Amino acid sequence: MSLLDNKTSKIRISEVIKGLGPRDLTVVPENASIEDVMSAIVDCRHSRMLNVVNDRKELVGTVSLSALTRHVFDQDYEPTIHARSLIGLLSRETAGDIMRKQPICATAEEEIGVVTRRMLAANVKEIPVVDSDKRVITDITIVDLIQHLLALKEGDLL
Judge whether 37 lies within some domain: yes
SS3 14: helix
Judge whether 72 lies within some domain: yes
Number of domains present in the structure of the chain: 1
- Which tens digits make up the pLDDT trace of 76-133? 555 455 545 544 544 568 999 999 999 999 999 999 999 999 999 999 999 999 999 9
Residue 50 belongs to domain with CATH number: 3.10.580.10
Judge whether 84 lies within some domain: yes
Judge whether 2 lies within some domain: no
Helix axes 142-153, 112-122, angle to 10 degrees: 140
What percentage of the chain has pLDDT greater than the value 70? 85
Strands of 17-76, DSSP E:
27-29, 49-53, 59-64
Judge whether 3 lies within some domain: no
Question: What is the structure's pLDDT at 87?
Answer: 45
Judge whether 1 lies within some domain: no
Judge whether 122 lies within some domain: yes
DSSP string computed for 89-158: HHH--BHHHHSBSS---EETTSBHHHHHHHHHHHT-SEEEEE-TTSBEEEEEEHHHHHHHHHHHHTTS--
Dihedral class, residue 35 (left if φ above 0, else alpha if ψ from -120 to 50, else beta): alpha
Inter-residue contact 9 to 118 (CB < 8 Å)? no
Question: What is the structure's pLDDT at 23?
Answer: 85
Judge whether 90 lies within some domain: yes
For residue 17, the tally of other CB atoms under 10 A from its CB is 19
Q: Which of 30, 156, 24 is nearest to 92 (CA)?
A: 30
pLDDT score of 61 more than 90: yes
Domain that holds residue 74: 8-153
